[in-house]
Amino acid sequence: MTAGQRAEGTDLAEYSPRRWVTLAVTLFAVLMDMVDNTVLNVALPAVQEDLDASSAQLEWSVAGYTLAFAAAMITGARLGDQFGRRRIYLIGLGGFVVTSALAGASADAETLIASRVLQGIAAALMVPQVLAMLQVDFPRSERPKAMSLYGMSLAVGGIGGPLLGGVLLEADLFGLGWRPIFFVNIPIGIAALIAAAILTRESRAERRETFDVTGTLIATAGLLALLFPLVQGRELDWPWWTFALMAACPAILWAFHRHERRVAAAGRSPLIDPALLRHRGAVGGLLVAVLFFCGMAYQVVLTVHLQVGEGYSPLRTALALATFTVGVGIGSGFAPRLMPLGRRVVLMGSAVIATGMAVTTFTVDRYAGSLEWWHLVPGMVISGVGLAMVAGTLLNIVLATMPKSASGAASSLVNTAIQVGVATGVAVVATVYFSLLEGGETPSDSAVGGLLTVVGLQVLAGACALVLPPGRVSLTDDAPADAPARPQEPAAR
């Protein structure tokens, strides 16, 4: 036993003996966030029928949650550092319960969209505190196991969201249709809130960073300048100002970069450290994360197509798409061993998921009108393998190529980019799909158009992997405590 291990054993008394129970309770936040990030997809046709929602409103009900989470995530983490992680976690969890109730009780599409945006903000308050509390509550020797449980909650939530939605829609509890997919958060959230209030301990960061509210507003405006016209332009018949807004997006983001440089020069804490953009690892990770996770919008296309175009029930739809997770499980078994290959893993993973989506596209076209769930298995499994190869390694590859002093900022940048990618993907891919569907194309041809867009995004993500630094990645055990350095930790939320 080394001197460090003996010292850590002596210091275990400083850690709560209930830390594993506490972790299980706080992971409910991660689980509920992942479930609510995906649960609505399978219910979109039911929501459209019940609320008389337009396709654009359906897109906002999905993308609004993720965009709000992305915009508020870094600020949420800093609130916890300054005012107490336990306090902000409890506020976020309580807000999540309230906004879930509002979403389930929505009488119209506008209320649902507003509730989903508020729900995303509440998630941005509670989720970042979980990792921060994990670092404080566990000694270094126990963190890998705790992190693996964190990663497992991500996987379970991602898988369980569509399945839970399918089961609840099939059950039609109390004749409420799609609404129980949100109401189910109320008893679970209240129980988690009581348990967390009893079990968790308060902690704050030793170095408290300032809040870049102006930067957050500028960045959000830049994203909306792109997403709003993409989502609404089709319904408005593409007036001139939609193109003007999209053209203004790069200028707004450049203004954001200039603002961040001024904030950093003044000695305050920028939302995103502009110095990161001088590192190939951060720039490459940003580009890959946005484009790769744009492709996750395939779920919107397939969940709507299987129900509207192929007559599937919500539960059958969820079960058909669950075969994707088989591929994720396969890929997760070997992807960590490929991490020393560096950017080549990301390039190969993007190629694999592009191949899987191409196979799925061919299948949807080939069996139009008679598509069975097993027809989708090959494409879904291949795609799942590709997801595991990229999502399970990208963040760690980026961190391995960055200075240790920049690891925390780089991690926040890539994770924010993932959420931006998911929201942008819904806007881009769903817009292509609904434009074709509402323009008179057959359901299968519309789905093919949407899925081919996904294939193109994955090809672009693979090309952007070449921006990452070349060469092999060396993984060592002396990574900073506040950044994931082991290949087992997933990069996605």
Indicate the residue type of 314: P
Whether pLDDT at 370 is above 90: yes
Domain boundaries, the chain: 15-203, 212-268, 276-493
pLDDT of residue 477: 44
For the purposes of burial, counting CB atoms within 10 Å of the CB of 473, is it exposed (0-12), middle (13-18) or buried (19 or more)? Answer: buried
Find the radius of gyration of the CA atoms of the chain.
Answer: 22
Length of the chain: 493
Q: Are 125 and 79 in contact (CB under 8 A)?
A: yes
Whether pLDDT at 5 is above 80: no
- Provide the pLDDT confidence category of residue 7 given band limits of 50, 70 and 90: very low
Question: What mean pLDDT do residues 18-44 have?
Answer: 85
Q: Are 164 and 31 in contact (CB under 8 A)?
A: no
pLDDT of residue 454: 97
Q: Are 337 and 466 in contact (CB under 8 A)?
A: no
Q: Are 195 and 25 in contact (CB under 8 A)?
A: yes
CATH number of the 276-493 domain: 1.20.1250.20
293-316: per-residue pLDDT in tens? 999 999 999 999 999 999 999 999
**Which range in 101-115, 117-131, 142-156, 184-198 is most confidently predicted, on average pLDDT?**
101-115
213-232 and 55-83 helices cross at what angle (nearest 10)?
170
Token couple for 356: 């899987």
CA angle 477, 391, 313 (to 5 degrees): 145
Chain-wide mean pLDDT for the chain? 86
129-149: per-residue pLDDT in tens? 887 888 788 887 787 678 767
> Which residues have a Cβ under 8 Å from the Cβ of 357 and sit 6 or more positions away?
295, 298, 379, 383, 451, 454, 455, 458
Q: Are 69 and 77 in contact (CB under 8 A)?
A: no
Tokens 């109390």 correspond to 174
Cβ neighbours, 10 Å, residue 330: 15
- Cα dist from 56 to 113, 288, 438, whole Å: 11, 26, 12
Question: What mean pLDDT do residues 149-168 have?
Answer: 79
Same fold, 15-203 and 276-493: yes
Q: Are 396 and 373 in contact (CB under 8 A)?
A: no
What is the CATH architecture of 15-203? Answer: Up-down Bundle (1.20)
185-199 and 85-104 helices cross at what angle (nearest 10)?
170
Can you say whether the dihedral through the CA atoms of 127, 22, 94, 296 is positive or negative? positive
pLDDT of residue 481: 35
What pTM was estimated for this model as a whole? 0.85
- Closest C-alpha among 247, 239, 258 to residue 222: 247
- Closest C-alpha among 483, 462, 466 to residue 400: 483
Compute CA 284 distance to the chain's CA centroid, rounded to the nearest angstrom.
18
435-447: per-residue pLDDT in tens? 999 888 999 999 9
Question: Rounded to whole angstroms, how far apart are CA atoms 367 and 363?
Answer: 6
Q: How far apart are the first and last CA of the chain?
A: 36
pLDDT of residue 475: 57
**Which range in 33-37, 104-108, 134-138 is most confidently predicted, on average pLDDT?**
104-108
pLDDT of residue 352: 96
- Per mean pLDDT, which range of 145-154, 173-182, 260-269, 317-326 is the poorest? 145-154
pLDDT of residue 248: 95
- Closest C-alpha among 206, 205, 242, 211 to residue 226: 242
182-197: per-residue pLDDT in tens? 999 999 999 999 999 9
- Provide the pLDDT confidence category of residue 493 given band limits of 50, 70 and 90: very low
